[in-house]
């Protein structure tokens, strides 16, 4: 089967209200372009600098029943469109004041079908995400959708091939990667190489949606097919990327590249 996927590489502002207004326009546009699934970048609800402290971070927190999530669910229902988006969520642990980096998968009726708390935090390149974010303790379990089975992880987790392999072993056809991939030396090369590798080594589709350069990120959101071919890629600025996903491509690639069935798990 074929379906149309959209990636919203769009600036996240400090104000959740402004981001919600921007999302409403993007969702309408994506629907008009024929998209059935729309992905936003990591922590799209509100933007903070990478060096924001815990006090600042706590001012940008909502619950899963808060106004931003509720409004996004209503937009999904209004436009009959599946959405994937992130926000900073209040931590359920009373002993930990850090927030959680949460991604939701919402269906075309506005119902939450998947929840993921980022498990591997960005403590690298001089940044310490774990100072303000509490890690999740469970990988995302791929979910069945009208577009096949969808897997998910977030940004820095591209650097852990075991996470993508877990998604593939649980029969994900498409892995979605919301991201805030900060600029820096070789970071674009890392991004493109890792996204492509995660698709190729698992012979699945990978769709990675980054923030643009205005958020100090590299942009270059992309969709890669199971053979490692880049189907679509954005530039550095705001852009809505559209790609047609043909799930038959997975079985076609696995006919000449059957690595998924050649693993010797007993040796690992």
CA 127/CA 199 separation, integer angstroms: 27
Catalytic site residue from 155, 157, 209, 217 = 155
DSSP-based three-state secondary structure for 68: helix
Asked if 26 and 10 count as a contact pair (C-beta separation under 8 A), the reply is: yes
CA 148/CA 151 separation, integer angstroms: 10
Indicate if 118 belongs to the active site: yes
Asked if 158 and 177 count as a contact pair (C-beta separation under 8 A), the reply is: yes
CA angle 61, 64, 68 (to 5 degrees): 65
Q: What is the 3-state secondary structure (H, E, C) of 138-180?
A: CCCCCEEEECEEEEECCHHHHHCHHHHHHHHHCCCCEEEEECC
Question: CB-based contacts of 200: which residues, under 8 Å, 6+ apart?
Answer: 224, 226, 227, 228
CA 108/CA 4 separation, integer angstroms: 14
| Angle formed by the axes of helices 187-202 and 161-169, nearest 10° | 30
Catalytic site residue from 42, 62, 129, 157 = 42
The single-letter DSSP state of residue 133 is: B
Catalytic site residue from 89, 118, 149, 209 = 118
The catalytic residues are 42, 118, 155
């Amino acid at each position: 089967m074929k379906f149309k996927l959209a990636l919203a590489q769009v600036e996240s502002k400090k104000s959740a209200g402004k981001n919600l207004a921007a999302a409403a326009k993007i969702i309408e546009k994506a629907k008009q372009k024929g998209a059935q699934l729309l992905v936003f970048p990591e922590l799209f609800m509100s933007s903070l600098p990478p060096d924001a402290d815990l006090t600042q971070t706590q001012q940008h927190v909502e619950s899963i029943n808060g106004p931003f999530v509720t409004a996004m669910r209503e937009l999904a229902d209004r436009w009959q469109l599946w959405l994937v988006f992130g926000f900073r969520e209040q931590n359920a642990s009373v002993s930990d004041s850090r927030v959680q980096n949460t991604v939701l998968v919402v269906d075309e009726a506005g119902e939450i079908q998947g929840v993921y708390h980022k498990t591997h935090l960005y403590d690298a390149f001089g940044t310490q995400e774990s100072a303000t974010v509490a890690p999740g303790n469970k990988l995302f379990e791929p979910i069945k959708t009208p577009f096949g089975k969808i897997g998910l992880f977030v940004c820095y987790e591209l650097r852990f091939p075991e996470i993508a392999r877990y998604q593939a072993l649980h029969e994900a056809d498409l892995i979605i990667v919301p991201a805030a991939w900060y600029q820096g030396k070789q970071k674009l090369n890392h991004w493109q190489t890792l996204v492509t590798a995660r698709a190729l080594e698992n012979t699945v589709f990978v769709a990675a949606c980054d923030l643009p350069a205005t958020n100090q990120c590299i942009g270059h959101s992309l969709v890669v097919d199971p053979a490692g071919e880049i189907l679509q890629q954005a530039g550095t600025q705001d852009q809505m990327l559209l790609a047609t996903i043909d799930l038959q491509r997975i079985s076609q690639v696995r006919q000449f590249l059957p690595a998924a069935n050649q693993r010797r798990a007993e040796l690992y």
